[in-house]
Structure 1
């Protein structure tokens, strides 16, 4: 398993370097035809705001075509160097020709529609510079949908600006009104759109999407025009530098968080496996305890807890068993008590449960002979004398043995002390005496 890395503020700083923020603002008001009051104010006020928000700002006002072109190219070079955040803001006249948007210099001499391509700046030039820079993130804002001052000279004059269709990835685009619609210049110092943007852009809790939602809500309520946005951003961006840096720190930590999450999942898996092994081990211990308990149950009772009598090598217990300490065989304290053939005698022995044991069996002939002792005598219930310890009570003198030979079976005569064979079907005088290992 991988070792989880310790993390602190210093290690976070090593992962993250704040992005540089570069802004180009061009505000054109002093047009020879169709002059506007607010764009220079909008541009200067936005420049001041963005400087407060940590942007390095280039402000251009009332620019001609060459100045606009050079400013945009230099903006692209700056983005290429910094690879940080780029922001372009343009208040002024903008028009569309054939679905292409153009930004108008203040010295533009437009007499016919074809002049636009050569005497203005293609708005897509800014997007092309942003794409070429391959920087982190770009914001592209046009407050340029005011009335076309040259519409009377055009055969097919379209209103407002066209929708952008070729923006690079990681770009947020906003128009002061939706495509093909006209935005107001405004009666106060700023246009309604720029005014609303200035009121919301510095709110630290708002990501870029929320900023422009607030702008759209306010502008629509006050003027009826509907600001429009499109975005290909892949993360969260805040205009306030502190909030944005915090977001970048979070993003920088995300791979580490994912690794830690995977390690936590692996730990949980290991814990589950360990718990499963522990459970199995516990069950095995329980089974072992039961096995030992069963083994103890099969052992003869100890003299101190169940012994009732002794006769030489024989010990009688209160559970009806007798242990031969010489052979370590345990015998039933008495036989079956009545005449029985060999088959039934065998069944009787195997199903005997004296003392709680389950491993009783029919004895072999030699095991029966091992009980014979001609120095000991007592009279059995059938009237015959038997010679063995009185701790084992025989009802009669003959005991079936387990050996067989065809239809015959072995037995032992406790009256004479001799081994014999007889038909298994005979019952008279025959008895069954169960035996088991005393261990």
Structure 2
């Protein structure tokens, strides 16, 4: 059975805005169809609390209230603004507002100031509040539920936006009493909560007259919000001011989603608003303030579409973008803009591919920002267009940035023929023009049009080639990178080869062929492209060349004391060695990969680069796991487990959920192998738990490829669990898991994963067929193994080819027993011998030993049909050879199975030769097997060994041992019967009863 390893966020609460009936509500004048809309009355109360007398003052609420009042007035509301209200005035304001709202269609309250939660109630905090106010909160503070209840009685739609989720302004141990004699409740640790009493707000039923409520919080429930820089607006108010103007023709729910993601981006993912909504109608507003025009208008339009795209992005993928932004120091907005430019339907399903894509684009963004100073032009229009493009990229408006740069390039091309008056002017013009092409190339690459980017970088190179050595290097290097990105994404080998050619041109720029740092970096990047080509080929020449180049680069980086690039090159070398080692029988390359991974860790200390350190620990675990598969006892498995557990100390689910799930998945593979090797059910159950944990992040909707991988691996764990349970439920669940994996892993798209799933499905059908004695299941098993060989050819994948033959041999053996067709045993012998053509003791000791043991078993059963003593002797020899590797300490289950097989063959050999000379060795083998097959841990196997020992004593009795031997035989057969009963395996019980009757009759005659 093979396992799938993948090298391969904290989810945010989604904004809840559910619309049921599409009826439009508009305020003031509107251009929407008269049949569907009407002018409605809207009233608004805006409250700003800044000048608190006894608790921390807030500088911005007054600004927020002033600006919000103006905007709501512009939107058509009858708006009133109040600031710095004490308890009496604030309650009076709200009571008056409730009265004024009667007869209105929409009531809108915006509150900016302190707010707290206690005992399930949210409170607005007046400016005269102090600690004593908490002793009579219903009087000294303002309970929000009372305001909401009053408004719902008088107005169809109520909207309350609370920019009050700030940190608790009272002492940490403060408690609130609604009345002096009421019970006390602690103040919530952070912000307001979406609850009132014992019921969530969204569950509060609306009256027949009410069309519902909207309550918006500036931050997620229980989380504090930011107040913003002094003298400005809070992030929440700023987002409202920017996007409520979009409500002309845009449904209110969509606008609030824009606000949510605007705050999220503006605060660099520290704050995300939350909306609790129970509207029964779609809500629109008609009159809007003037929208931005010109360049700003274009940017804002695309920005709003970006915000709506972000709101639909699953939490795990959102967290990957956040992590990439944090690690690479680039704007979160721009990275999201990159993904929008790609299109959500084209977003990589595999988190590793997404991580690689984000990393590459983050590097490109950093380069663009660092090269701003290089852009010098005397054309003011070009300067304006480039500045607007920079702003658009910062806002995530990639398509708009490209439009600005298209105009700039058009202007360059228009004036290109007028620049030959003087050499100095020509140089300045060429450099400036090249920078514009490069800028458009950058924008194209951010939009994943790498082919267009490569063409523009090539044009920029041609313009500067004779004028500026540094720029010609830079532009040619960027052309190479764009060609690599295009080739990687599309599989275009010609583009990848052109990338290598571009790197070779760069190498020619180095004077006298000096092997300096630039030489090493360029060759390292070229080797990455060679590895990409090599991974897509069956030959290994390109992988070998990449490994040589990485080693050459390491020499230079070591000499230059460049630890950062040295660690990157060492990591690259380890990865290519791992790829080579996985294709070869000899574990030499895998050992080299482990050594290289350990060396990388020396240059990536945990205290300085914790996430890089964790990534290297994970890669080390993958290499150790691969190496363990070449060892007789999997000596490196425990080291792989330790490496994964170290990686999990930094890759937590909260901080890096995608990476956490990847490590959990790989840890699970290691635990399955350890559990099988050590006959440890607890380890295998722990592995199943690890896969199930990974699947909480790797959902089919978010990461279908990773989901399929972990479903496949969960099937492997369940198959291991089935070793300890003679039922079929775990096996059936495993078969379902493999079937799930195959819905994603088609042969056309994922041939290797498809073959792996086919192989493992074959193993499950094999065990099911054995336990249910169903030849049809075994035929399905054989068909699955043969299907896997359509991918696992001997030339391309020798070890996987050998594995499929070994597995097929196991199935054919079982078919021979159930179908009464001895030719199946001959086919099984041939299958094992095919496996041994690749499995060698020197390089694959465990697989070699298991194949020898399988061969011995098939020869044993073949001898039952041809009654050939030599076949039995060959069976014993094969199993004894296997025991040289499958020791009791290293592989107890396999060791015990081989001992049992030796005993069976010796017992039958004695029967064929009519001698008792083999009985002692046979009894010793059966007795040895009982060291592992105990009644407690393996009741069915224990029962078989008891039966076999009964046969030993029965044979001795037949050779003159007398009644004591008959009595011993009966005792062992009785033990066997009890063991089969306890294990729930009833099929052998009638045969055991027959043996007992025969022994008793023979003993009676003595």
Q: What's the TM-score, normalizing by structure 2?
A: 0.22
**Larger Rg, first or second structure (1 or 2):** 1
- Answer 1 or 2: which has greater helix percent: 2
